[in-house]
Amino acid sequence: GENVEQHPSTLSVQEGDSAVIKCTYSDSASNYFPWYKQELGKRPQLIIDIRSNVGEKKDQRIAVTLNKTAKHFSLHITETQPEDSAVYFCAAPGRGSGGGADGLTFGKGTHLIIQP
């Protein structure tokens, strides 16, 4: 099955600086990679996703890059703000389903702390 590794487990940055979170995956058949943001006690919320036919996707201050050859993808947050403080999870399709129909395999999460 799929194995997703996420680093770092904790990331502290100054407000206004950039933050980068990295994930690797093992199944070359995976073709969909979402990122979720989870605030304390809340449900995970999708913030951005990327499919394997593109190498980068941007949405305002958030971007995701994908390197299929190396099997890694990264989340980039620019001009960080206090409300960006949360736990971020990357995921990849589990169980060889390619697009995630059979569920997702998640990384263990990164606790992002924005220092004022």
Partner 1 sequence: DGGITQSPKYLFRKEGQNVTLSCEQNLNHDAMYWYRQDPGQGLRLIYYSQIVNDFQKGDIAEGYSVSREKKESFPLTVTSAQKNPTAFYLCASRVRGRETQYFGPGTRLLVL
Phi, psi for 54 (deg, rounded to 5)? -130, 155
Residue linked to tokens 């006690």: 41
Q: How far is the CB of 51 from partner 1 (least distance, A)?
A: 8
Q: How far is the CB of 5 from partner 1 (least distance, A)?
A: 11
Identify which of residues 34 and 77 has a Cβ nearer to partner 1 in the complex. Answer: 34
The residues in 11-70 that bind partner 1, with binding defined as CB under 8 A, are 32, 34, 36, 42-46, 49, 51
Identify which of residues 85 and 109 has a Cβ nearer to partner 1 in the complex. Answer: 109
Q: Which DSSP string do the residues of the chain spell out, in sequence order?
A: ---EEEE-SEEEEETTS-EEEEEEE--TT--EEEEEEE-TTS--EEEEEEETT-SEEEETTEEEEEETTTTEEEEEE-S--GGG-EEEEEEEE-TT-SSSTT-EEE---EEEEEE-
Residue 104 touching partner 1 (CB under 8 A): yes
Q: How far is the CB of 24 from partner 1 (least distance, A)?
A: 14
Write out the residues near partner 1 by the rule CB under 8 A. Answer: 1, 6, 9, 32, 34, 36, 42-46, 49, 51, 89, 91, 93-94, 99-109
